Amino acid sequence: MDNRPIGVFDSGLGGLTVLREILKVVPNENIIYFGDTARVPYGPRKLEEVREFVFSITHFLSQKDVKLMVIACNTSTAAALDALQARLPIPVIGVIEPGARTAVGHTANRRVGVMATRGTVESRAYDKAISKIDRGIKVYSVAAPKLVEYVEKGQLCGQALDGSIYDYIEPLLAKKIDVLIMGCTHFPLIEGRIAHLSGDNVKVISSAVETARDVKNILTKEGIAASGTGKPFRIFYETGKASHFYRVGKMFLGEEITDVVSIDLAM
């Protein structure tokens, strides 16, 4: 048994949707969540710049003696997962491989769609992850930045949102996809609308759900699950000074966030 915390980080608050799924499957684990709200969003940034941000965050989390790190951000996973796995002595998992693996298992016609941020799409991270499993599967991707804006404003339904979703999905449907990966941690909050507009013949995959399953499996395999005695703690850090962590964070996590520590990574 190992009661050290799990470190979960994202460019902002979207990674809380991943944490929400993690807490469903391993509710007894201690958690440290880090949101780089001062520099969000990562999606439009160059991957080299994102990689440096990620190295800074993981150095901070390492000082907190975390036992496992979860990169709850598609862009950060694309930018730095391999490097972190090579340099850190603890397990590090991202959100791309679990979603890609599940998509491969569900596609019947071997045509998979990905809806993500611009940075994730341009990195071709899902293409590469799926190709490692099955080179014969065709992957079609679209960047959907407007959907991130809708979610962050709390606009989770309505005609305008549906119109934007369909504008992004339509070219993927034209490619005859039968699986759609939500390649952004904001999208689980509008999964119902995405699934409805994708139609009954398309399986929508949440990388957050699949990543949570991987977390549970790693804790069991490595023998580092928490003992389950005592109330687990949740600590939230952010780099921003005037973010909407409490209001938006509750929407993403599904529970009240009572305390957020603001820090400066440059210190």
Of 30, 29, 26, 71, nearest to 51 (Cα)?
Answer: 71
- Are 100 and 181 contacting, i.e. CB atoms less than 8 angstroms apart? yes
Looking at the annotation, which residues are catalytic? 73, 184
Question: Is 194 in a helix, a strand, or coil?
Answer: helix
Any idea of the CA torsion for 210, 216, 219, 225, to the nearest 10 degrees? 150
- d(C-alpha 152, C-alpha 14), whole Å: 9
- d(C-alpha 29, C-alpha 4), whole Å: 8
Strand order in the sheet with 234-238: 92-93, 68-71, 6-10, 31-35, 234-238, 260-262
DSSP 8-state code for residue 231: P
DSSP 8-state code for residue 108: S
Residue linked to tokens 């529970």: 255
DSSP β-bridge partners for residue 142: 115
Instruction: List the end-to-end C-alpha distance of the chain, in Å, as a whole number.
Output: 34
- Are 197 and 157 contacting, i.e. CB atoms less than 8 angstroms apart? no
Reported as type and span, the H/E element at residue 113 is strand 111-116
